[in-house]
Amino acid sequence: MQELATTKTTFKKIESEWFNYYRTLQEIKLLEEAILYPYDESDDDPTVVAGKNSVRDTTDPTADKVIRLTKHKQLNYLREITSAIETVYNALPKDRKELVHERYWCKDNNKDWEYVAHQCSVSKRQALRWRDEMVQATVEVLGWR
């Protein structure tokens, strides 16, 4: 089977997902909380009869929450992205994990490749090869092109 070339747009998207990994985890947490504990304005209004005309009025509220969690498209998409990143990251050798931390996950992620390569004790070209391999592996896990 021939490997499809990753488009430039996909490459940039994947790399931005690595940069935003921790922000995405926070977003997932917020979405899950919003689904599990939805704020209903009628809760503040004592004149509104509880459950009247409510879509969420089911006999099993736990099952209702599970269904909402599993069917939420944005939540599933974000989980898929973070899962792919975690899969690739966990398969990386220690030196490449160091590159991920230096380039993508430290607070000052505006470091250039010269600095990152120096911190990882490799050449800039080697650091860029590692990045390319990491992005390509993420593309393959996600099934993108």
- According to the model, what pLDDT value does residue 51 have? 47
pTM value surpassing 0.85? no
DSSP element (H, E) containing 106: none
Higher local confidence (pLDDT), 50 or 112: 112
- According to the model, what pLDDT value does residue 47 have? 46
Higher local confidence (pLDDT), 26 or 74: 26
Please state the rounded mean pLDDT for residues 115-139.
96
The domain spans of the chain are 8-142
pLDDT in tens, 53-101: 445 555 776 676 667 666 678 889 999 999 999 999 999 999 999 999 9
C-alpha distances (whole Å) from 3 to each of 8, 136, 137 are 15, 10, 12
Cβ(56)–Cβ(90) below 8 Å? no
Can you read off the two tokens belonging to residue 57?
Answer: 């009025």
Residue 52 has pLDDT above 50, yes or no: no
Cβ(17)–Cβ(81) below 8 Å? yes
**CA 29 – CA 23 distance, rounded (Å):** 10
| Other Cβ atoms within 10 Å of 8 Cβ, number | 8
